Amino acid sequence: MSDKKLGLNTICTHVGEIKDEQFKGAVSPMYLSSSYEFLDVDVKRYPRYFNTPNQEFLSKKIAALEHTEAAMIFGSGMAAISTMFLAFLKQGDHLVVQNTLYGGTVNFIKEEFPKYGIEYTFTNGYELKDFKAAIQPNTKLIHIETPSNPLMTITDITAIAKLGKSNNILTSIDNTFASPINQSPIDFGIDMVMHSATKYFGGHSDICAGAVASSSEHIERIWNVGKNLGGSLSDMTVWMLERSMKTLGLRVKAQTKNAMKMAKWLDKHPKVSKVYYPGLKSHPDYKLAKSQMKGFGAMLSFELTDDLDAYKFQKQLKLIKSSMSLAGIESTVISPHLTSHALLTQEERDKVGISDQLIRFSVGIEETRDLKLDIEQAFEKIVNRK
Protein backbone atom coordinates (compact mmCIF):
# COMPACT_ATOMS: atom_id res chain seq x y z
CA MET A 1 0.00 0.00 0.00
CA SER A 2 1.43 3.37 -0.96
CA ASP A 3 1.99 5.83 1.88
CA LYS A 4 0.01 8.42 -0.04
CA LYS A 5 -3.20 6.40 0.29
CA LEU A 6 -2.98 5.96 4.05
CA GLY A 7 -5.26 7.96 6.32
CA LEU A 8 -3.93 10.76 8.50
CA ASN A 9 -3.69 8.94 11.82
CA THR A 10 -2.19 5.87 10.13
CA ILE A 11 0.54 8.08 8.63
CA CYS A 12 1.13 9.59 12.07
CA THR A 13 1.41 6.16 13.67
CA HIS A 14 3.26 4.10 11.07
CA VAL A 15 4.95 5.90 8.18
CA GLY A 16 8.71 6.15 8.68
CA GLU A 17 8.93 3.40 11.29
CA ILE A 18 12.26 1.61 11.40
CA LYS A 19 11.69 -2.15 11.59
CA ASP A 20 13.51 -3.74 14.50
CA GLU A 21 14.82 -6.76 12.56
CA GLN A 22 17.06 -7.92 15.37
CA PHE A 23 14.66 -8.12 18.32
CA LYS A 24 11.26 -7.53 16.66
CA GLY A 25 10.42 -4.68 19.02
CA ALA A 26 7.26 -2.69 18.38
CA VAL A 27 8.86 0.72 17.94
CA SER A 28 11.75 2.14 15.93
CA PRO A 29 15.17 1.45 17.44
CA MET A 30 17.18 4.55 18.32
CA TYR A 31 20.48 4.71 16.41
CA LEU A 32 22.87 6.95 18.28
CA SER A 33 26.00 6.22 16.22
CA SER A 34 27.80 9.28 14.97
CA SER A 35 30.18 6.98 13.08
CA TYR A 36 29.10 4.62 10.27
CA GLU A 37 30.86 2.28 7.86
CA PHE A 38 32.43 4.36 5.11
CA LEU A 39 33.85 1.89 2.59
CA ASP A 40 31.61 0.15 0.06
CA VAL A 41 28.29 1.53 1.37
CA ASP A 42 25.56 3.26 -0.65
CA VAL A 43 24.96 6.00 1.92
CA LYS A 44 27.78 7.69 3.82
CA ARG A 45 25.93 8.32 7.04
CA TYR A 46 26.82 11.09 9.49
CA PRO A 47 24.50 13.06 11.85
CA ARG A 48 25.23 16.48 10.30
CA TYR A 49 24.45 15.05 6.87
CA PHE A 50 20.85 14.63 8.07
CA ASN A 51 20.99 10.95 7.06
CA THR A 52 21.27 8.81 10.19
CA PRO A 53 18.57 6.10 10.23
CA ASN A 54 16.28 7.97 12.65
CA GLN A 55 16.56 11.25 10.74
CA GLU A 56 16.07 9.57 7.37
CA PHE A 57 13.00 7.61 8.44
CA LEU A 58 11.21 10.32 10.43
CA SER A 59 11.59 12.59 7.39
CA LYS A 60 9.37 10.13 5.50
CA LYS A 61 6.56 10.66 8.02
CA ILE A 62 6.83 14.44 7.68
CA ALA A 63 6.90 14.22 3.87
CA ALA A 64 3.83 11.94 3.89
CA LEU A 65 1.95 14.35 6.16
CA GLU A 66 2.81 17.36 3.99
CA HIS A 67 2.22 15.52 0.66
CA THR A 68 5.78 16.06 -0.54
CA GLU A 69 8.50 13.81 -1.96
CA ALA A 70 11.00 14.62 0.76
CA ALA A 71 11.61 16.39 4.07
CA MET A 72 14.44 17.33 6.42
CA ILE A 73 14.51 17.60 10.21
CA PHE A 74 16.44 20.38 11.95
CA GLY A 75 17.61 21.33 15.43
CA SER A 76 14.99 24.11 15.66
CA GLY A 77 12.37 25.90 13.60
CA MET A 78 14.84 28.74 13.10
CA ALA A 79 17.49 26.30 11.79
CA ALA A 80 14.88 25.05 9.30
CA ILE A 81 13.80 28.48 8.08
CA SER A 82 17.29 30.04 7.97
CA THR A 83 18.68 27.07 6.02
CA MET A 84 15.73 27.18 3.62
CA PHE A 85 16.17 30.91 3.02
CA LEU A 86 19.94 30.65 2.50
CA ALA A 87 19.48 27.74 0.09
CA PHE A 88 17.38 29.86 -2.28
CA LEU A 89 18.69 33.41 -1.72
CA LYS A 90 22.16 34.68 -2.51
CA GLN A 91 23.79 38.09 -2.72
CA GLY A 92 21.69 40.43 -4.85
CA ASP A 93 18.51 38.33 -4.57
CA HIS A 94 15.29 39.66 -3.07
CA LEU A 95 12.76 38.10 -0.68
CA VAL A 96 9.13 39.18 -0.42
CA VAL A 97 7.90 38.39 3.05
CA GLN A 98 4.56 38.81 4.82
CA ASN A 99 4.47 41.66 7.33
CA THR A 100 2.79 39.65 10.10
CA LEU A 101 5.39 37.01 10.85
CA TYR A 102 6.98 35.02 13.66
CA GLY A 103 9.33 37.38 15.55
CA GLY A 104 12.41 35.15 15.22
CA THR A 105 11.99 35.05 11.45
CA VAL A 106 11.73 38.86 11.37
CA ASN A 107 14.94 39.12 13.41
CA PHE A 108 16.78 36.66 11.17
CA ILE A 109 15.87 38.65 8.05
CA LYS A 110 16.61 42.07 9.51
CA GLU A 111 19.81 41.13 11.35
CA GLU A 112 21.42 38.60 8.98
CA PHE A 113 20.29 39.38 5.44
CA PRO A 114 22.28 42.66 5.20
CA LYS A 115 25.47 40.71 6.04
CA TYR A 116 24.86 38.45 3.01
CA GLY A 117 23.73 41.27 0.70
CA ILE A 118 20.26 39.73 0.39
CA GLU A 119 17.45 42.24 -0.14
CA TYR A 120 13.94 41.96 1.30
CA THR A 121 10.59 43.71 1.45
CA PHE A 122 7.99 43.24 4.17
CA THR A 123 4.53 43.57 2.62
CA ASN A 124 2.14 46.30 3.78
CA GLY A 125 -0.61 43.78 4.40
CA TYR A 126 -1.45 40.16 3.73
CA GLU A 127 -3.66 40.52 0.67
CA LEU A 128 -2.61 39.48 -2.85
CA LYS A 129 -2.16 43.12 -3.93
CA ASP A 130 0.31 43.68 -1.08
CA PHE A 131 2.49 40.80 -2.29
CA LYS A 132 2.21 41.90 -5.92
CA ALA A 133 3.33 45.41 -5.01
CA ALA A 134 6.43 44.09 -3.21
CA ILE A 135 7.79 41.98 -6.11
CA GLN A 136 10.99 43.20 -7.80
CA PRO A 137 12.88 41.91 -10.86
CA ASN A 138 15.35 40.14 -8.51
CA THR A 139 12.69 38.53 -6.26
CA LYS A 140 13.50 34.81 -5.85
CA LEU A 141 11.22 33.77 -3.00
CA ILE A 142 7.87 34.75 -1.44
CA HIS A 143 7.38 33.65 2.18
CA ILE A 144 4.02 33.62 3.96
CA GLU A 145 2.62 32.60 7.34
CA THR A 146 -1.04 31.67 7.81
CA PRO A 147 -2.74 31.76 10.26
CA SER A 148 -0.32 34.39 11.52
CA ASN A 149 0.73 35.36 15.01
CA PRO A 150 -1.04 36.81 17.04
CA LEU A 151 -4.17 38.06 15.23
CA MET A 152 -4.74 34.88 13.18
CA THR A 153 -4.84 36.68 9.84
CA ILE A 154 -5.38 34.37 6.86
CA THR A 155 -3.35 34.64 3.67
CA ASP A 156 -4.78 33.23 0.42
CA ILE A 157 -2.43 30.29 -0.21
CA THR A 158 -3.68 29.53 -3.74
CA ALA A 159 -3.35 33.17 -4.82
CA ILE A 160 0.22 33.41 -3.50
CA ALA A 161 1.21 30.11 -5.14
CA LYS A 162 -0.19 31.34 -8.48
CA LEU A 163 1.53 34.70 -8.10
CA GLY A 164 4.84 32.89 -7.57
CA LYS A 165 4.37 30.51 -10.52
CA SER A 166 3.36 33.28 -12.95
CA ASN A 167 6.47 35.30 -12.01
CA ASN A 168 8.87 32.35 -11.83
CA ILE A 169 9.36 32.93 -8.09
CA LEU A 170 9.42 30.13 -5.49
CA THR A 171 6.96 30.23 -2.59
CA SER A 172 7.33 29.02 1.00
CA ILE A 173 5.03 28.91 4.01
CA ASP A 174 5.43 28.67 7.77
CA ASN A 175 2.77 26.03 8.50
CA THR A 176 3.49 25.84 12.24
CA PHE A 177 0.20 27.28 13.53
CA ALA A 178 -2.08 25.11 11.38
CA SER A 179 0.05 21.93 11.28
CA PRO A 180 -0.52 19.44 8.43
CA ILE A 181 -3.57 18.20 10.31
CA ASN A 182 -5.40 21.45 9.56
CA GLN A 183 -3.72 22.72 6.40
CA SER A 184 -1.93 21.19 3.38
CA PRO A 185 -0.27 24.10 1.52
CA ILE A 186 1.41 21.86 -1.10
CA ASP A 187 -2.06 20.91 -2.40
CA PHE A 188 -2.63 24.61 -3.13
CA GLY A 189 0.60 24.94 -5.11
CA ILE A 190 3.11 26.23 -2.52
CA ASP A 191 6.65 24.97 -3.18
CA MET A 192 8.06 24.57 0.35
CA VAL A 193 6.55 24.08 3.80
CA MET A 194 8.43 24.67 7.05
CA HIS A 195 7.60 23.96 10.69
CA SER A 196 8.77 24.75 14.13
CA ALA A 197 8.52 21.13 15.32
CA THR A 198 8.92 22.60 18.81
CA LYS A 199 5.21 23.33 18.59
CA TYR A 200 2.52 20.86 17.41
CA PHE A 201 4.89 18.18 16.06
CA GLY A 202 6.50 17.88 19.50
CA GLY A 203 3.30 18.81 21.29
CA HIS A 204 4.45 18.14 24.86
CA SER A 205 6.64 21.22 25.41
CA ASP A 206 9.80 19.13 25.75
CA ILE A 207 11.40 19.17 22.27
CA CYS A 208 13.07 21.90 20.22
CA ALA A 209 13.14 20.96 16.51
CA GLY A 210 12.23 22.09 13.01
CA ALA A 211 11.36 20.67 9.60
CA VAL A 212 11.10 21.56 5.92
CA ALA A 213 9.11 19.53 3.37
CA SER A 214 9.26 19.91 -0.41
CA SER A 215 10.18 18.19 -3.69
CA SER A 216 13.32 16.02 -3.73
CA GLU A 217 14.97 18.66 -5.92
CA HIS A 218 14.39 21.52 -3.45
CA ILE A 219 15.28 19.38 -0.45
CA GLU A 220 18.58 18.47 -2.10
CA ARG A 221 19.35 22.16 -2.46
CA ILE A 222 18.46 22.77 1.18
CA TRP A 223 20.58 19.76 2.17
CA ASN A 224 23.61 21.22 0.39
CA VAL A 225 23.42 24.35 2.55
CA GLY A 226 22.24 22.52 5.66
CA LYS A 227 25.31 20.30 5.86
CA ASN A 228 27.45 23.47 5.90
CA LEU A 229 25.35 25.34 8.46
CA GLY A 230 25.14 22.25 10.66
CA GLY A 231 21.67 22.63 12.15
CA SER A 232 20.83 18.92 12.46
CA LEU A 233 18.91 17.42 15.38
CA SER A 234 20.35 14.79 17.74
CA ASP A 235 19.00 11.29 17.13
CA MET A 236 17.78 11.00 20.70
CA THR A 237 15.47 13.96 20.06
CA VAL A 238 14.55 12.69 16.60
CA TRP A 239 13.37 9.51 18.26
CA MET A 240 11.34 11.49 20.81
CA LEU A 241 9.86 13.53 17.98
CA GLU A 242 8.80 10.33 16.21
CA ARG A 243 7.02 9.20 19.36
CA SER A 244 5.30 12.57 19.67
CA MET A 245 4.18 12.62 16.07
CA LYS A 246 2.29 9.34 16.42
CA THR A 247 -0.39 11.30 18.27
CA LEU A 248 -0.15 14.49 16.18
CA GLY A 249 -3.52 13.90 14.51
CA LEU A 250 -5.30 13.00 17.74
CA ARG A 251 -3.82 15.90 19.66
CA VAL A 252 -4.35 18.61 17.08
CA LYS A 253 -7.90 17.51 16.33
CA ALA A 254 -8.78 17.55 20.04
CA GLN A 255 -7.09 20.93 20.51
CA THR A 256 -8.84 22.37 17.44
CA LYS A 257 -12.21 21.21 18.76
CA ASN A 258 -11.48 22.78 22.14
CA ALA A 259 -10.33 26.04 20.50
CA MET A 260 -13.64 26.37 18.63
CA LYS A 261 -15.57 25.86 21.89
CA MET A 262 -13.40 28.38 23.76
CA ALA A 263 -13.59 30.94 20.94
CA LYS A 264 -17.39 30.80 20.91
CA TRP A 265 -17.57 31.06 24.70
CA LEU A 266 -15.09 33.95 24.92
CA ASP A 267 -16.90 35.73 22.08
CA LYS A 268 -20.04 35.92 24.24
CA HIS A 269 -18.23 36.78 27.47
CA PRO A 270 -18.96 40.29 28.84
CA LYS A 271 -15.33 40.74 29.96
CA VAL A 272 -13.98 39.99 26.48
CA SER A 273 -14.27 42.73 23.86
CA LYS A 274 -12.95 40.83 20.84
CA VAL A 275 -11.95 37.32 19.76
CA TYR A 276 -9.61 36.56 16.86
CA TYR A 277 -10.23 33.01 15.61
CA PRO A 278 -10.58 32.08 11.93
CA GLY A 279 -13.34 29.61 12.83
CA LEU A 280 -15.70 32.36 13.99
CA LYS A 281 -18.02 33.72 11.31
CA SER A 282 -17.16 37.23 12.56
CA HIS A 283 -13.48 36.74 11.53
CA PRO A 284 -12.87 38.85 8.39
CA ASP A 285 -11.24 35.90 6.60
CA TYR A 286 -13.61 33.16 7.78
CA LYS A 287 -14.60 32.14 4.24
CA LEU A 288 -11.00 32.03 3.02
CA ALA A 289 -9.95 30.02 6.08
CA LYS A 290 -12.79 27.58 5.44
CA SER A 291 -11.71 27.14 1.83
CA GLN A 292 -8.08 26.28 2.60
CA MET A 293 -8.07 24.80 6.12
CA LYS A 294 -9.33 21.37 7.19
CA GLY A 295 -9.81 22.69 10.72
CA PHE A 296 -9.37 26.21 12.08
CA GLY A 297 -6.48 25.39 14.39
CA ALA A 298 -6.02 25.64 18.14
CA MET A 299 -4.54 29.13 18.37
CA LEU A 300 -6.70 32.17 19.10
CA SER A 301 -6.39 35.64 20.62
CA PHE A 302 -8.80 37.74 22.62
CA GLU A 303 -8.98 41.22 24.07
CA LEU A 304 -10.06 41.96 27.62
CA THR A 305 -12.40 44.90 28.19
CA ASP A 306 -10.57 48.17 28.91
CA ASP A 307 -11.29 48.09 32.66
CA LEU A 308 -9.23 44.91 33.12
CA ASP A 309 -5.46 44.49 33.49
CA ALA A 310 -4.16 41.75 31.18
CA TYR A 311 -1.09 41.11 33.33
CA LYS A 312 -3.14 40.62 36.52
CA PHE A 313 -5.53 38.38 34.61
CA GLN A 314 -2.73 36.04 33.58
CA LYS A 315 -1.28 35.99 37.10
CA GLN A 316 -4.64 34.79 38.46
CA LEU A 317 -5.01 31.83 36.10
CA LYS A 318 -4.35 28.56 37.92
CA LEU A 319 -4.66 25.80 35.31
CA ILE A 320 -3.66 27.82 32.24
CA LYS A 321 0.02 28.75 32.36
CA SER A 322 1.67 31.79 30.87
CA SER A 323 4.24 30.74 28.25
CA MET A 324 6.16 32.25 25.39
CA SER A 325 5.90 28.95 23.50
CA LEU A 326 2.70 27.31 22.27
CA ALA A 327 0.99 24.23 20.90
CA GLY A 328 1.57 21.88 23.83
CA ILE A 329 -1.22 19.63 25.09
CA GLU A 330 -1.50 22.04 28.03
CA SER A 331 -3.25 25.39 27.52
CA THR A 332 -1.07 28.49 27.72
CA VAL A 333 -1.52 32.25 27.36
CA ILE A 334 0.78 35.19 26.68
CA SER A 335 0.62 38.97 26.14
CA PRO A 336 2.05 39.65 22.66
CA HIS A 337 2.88 43.23 23.68
CA LEU A 338 5.24 41.88 26.37
CA THR A 339 6.85 39.17 24.22
CA SER A 340 6.78 38.75 20.44
CA HIS A 341 5.96 42.42 19.82
CA ALA A 342 7.75 44.03 22.78
CA LEU A 343 10.36 45.61 20.51
CA LEU A 344 7.77 47.58 18.55
CA THR A 345 6.76 51.07 19.71
CA GLN A 346 3.25 51.64 21.05
CA GLU A 347 2.44 53.41 17.79
CA GLU A 348 3.66 50.48 15.68
CA ARG A 349 1.65 48.05 17.80
CA ASP A 350 -1.47 50.20 17.43
CA LYS A 351 -0.95 50.17 13.67
CA VAL A 352 -0.94 46.36 13.48
CA GLY A 353 -3.74 46.07 16.03
CA ILE A 354 -1.85 44.59 18.99
CA SER A 355 -3.29 46.24 22.08
CA ASP A 356 -2.17 45.84 25.70
CA GLN A 357 -5.52 44.07 26.28
CA LEU A 358 -4.65 41.30 23.81
CA ILE A 359 -4.04 37.76 25.10
CA ARG A 360 -2.83 34.95 22.84
CA PHE A 361 -4.34 31.60 23.81
CA SER A 362 -2.84 28.25 22.83
CA VAL A 363 -5.65 25.81 23.55
CA GLY A 364 -4.69 22.39 24.92
CA ILE A 365 -6.49 19.10 25.41
CA GLU A 366 -7.97 19.78 28.86
CA GLU A 367 -11.76 19.67 29.37
CA THR A 368 -13.11 23.02 28.15
CA ARG A 369 -15.33 23.14 31.26
CA ASP A 370 -12.20 23.40 33.43
CA LEU A 371 -10.60 26.00 31.15
CA LYS A 372 -13.74 28.14 31.33
CA LEU A 373 -13.89 27.84 35.13
CA ASP A 374 -10.23 28.87 35.36
CA ILE A 375 -10.78 31.95 33.21
CA GLU A 376 -13.97 32.81 35.10
CA GLN A 377 -12.27 32.67 38.52
CA ALA A 378 -9.41 34.85 37.23
CA PHE A 379 -11.93 37.44 35.99
CA GLU A 380 -13.73 37.41 39.33
CA LYS A 381 -10.53 38.00 41.27
CA ILE A 382 -9.36 40.98 39.23
CA VAL A 383 -12.83 42.55 38.93
CA ASN A 384 -13.39 42.39 42.69
CA ARG A 385 -10.00 43.92 43.40
CA LYS A 386 -10.79 47.07 41.47
Ligand X SMILES: *Cc1c(COP(=O)(O)O)cnc(C)c1O
DSSP-derived letter for residue 94 is E
Please select the residue that binds ligand X; options are 104, 125, 189, 353, rule is CB under 6 A.
104
Measured in whole angstroms, how far is the alpha carbon of residue 135 from the centre of its chain? 25
Among 47, 53, 77, 364, binds ligand X (CB under 6 A): 77
Q: Which stretch binds ligand X (CB under 6 A): 76-84, 133-141, 305-313, 343-351?
A: 76-84
**C-beta of 76: minimal distance to ligand X in Å?**
3
For residue 108, what are the CA distances in angstroms to 114, 146, 175, 223?
A: 10, 19, 18, 20
Stretch that binds ligand X, among 61-69, 173-181, 211-219, 371-379 (CB under 6 A): 173-181
Give the separation between CA 107 and CA 25, rounded to whole angstroms: 44
Select the span of 75-83, 127-135, 239-247, 299-307 touching ligand X (CB under 6 A).
75-83
Work out whether strand 332-334 and strand 321-322 pair parallel, antiparallel, or are unpaired.
parallel
Q: Closest approach of Cβ 145 to ligand X, in Å?
A: 6
Beta bridge partners of 97: 122, 143
Q: How far is CA 116 from the centre of its chain?
A: 26
Name the CA dihedral angle for 187, 231, 200, 287, rounded to a multiple of 10 degrees. -40
Give 174 or 242: the residue with its C-beta nearer to ligand X. 174
List the one residue from 54, 55, 68, 76 that touches ligand X (CB under 6 A).
76
For residue 36, the number of C-alpha atoms closer than 13 Å in the C-beta half-sphere is 17
Cβ-based neighbours of 184, under 8 Å, separated by 6 or more: 66, 67, 294
Backbone angles phi, psi at 249, to 5 degrees: -60, -50
Among 56, 174, 191, 303, binds ligand X (CB under 6 A): 174
The mark string for 272-311 relative to ligand X (x by CB under 6 A, - otherwise) is: ----------------------------------------
Which residues within the stretch 175-204 sit at the binding site for ligand X (CB under 6 A)?
Answer: 176-177, 196, 198-199
Catalytic residues: 48, 102, 174, 199
List the beta bridge partners of residue 145: 174
Q: Is 93 in the site for ligand X (CB under 6 A)?
A: no
Q: Which is nearer to ligand X, 280 or 327 (CB)?
A: 327
In the chain, the amino acid numbered 234 is: S
- Binding-site member from 210, 249, 278, 297 for ligand X (CB under 6 A): 210
Q: Rounded to an integer, what distance in angstroms lies between the CA atom of residue 276 and that of residue 296?
A: 11
Give residue number: closest CB to ligand X. 77
- Binding residues for ligand X, rule: CB under 6 A, are 76-78, 102, 104-105, 149, 174, 176-177, 196, 198-199, 208, 210
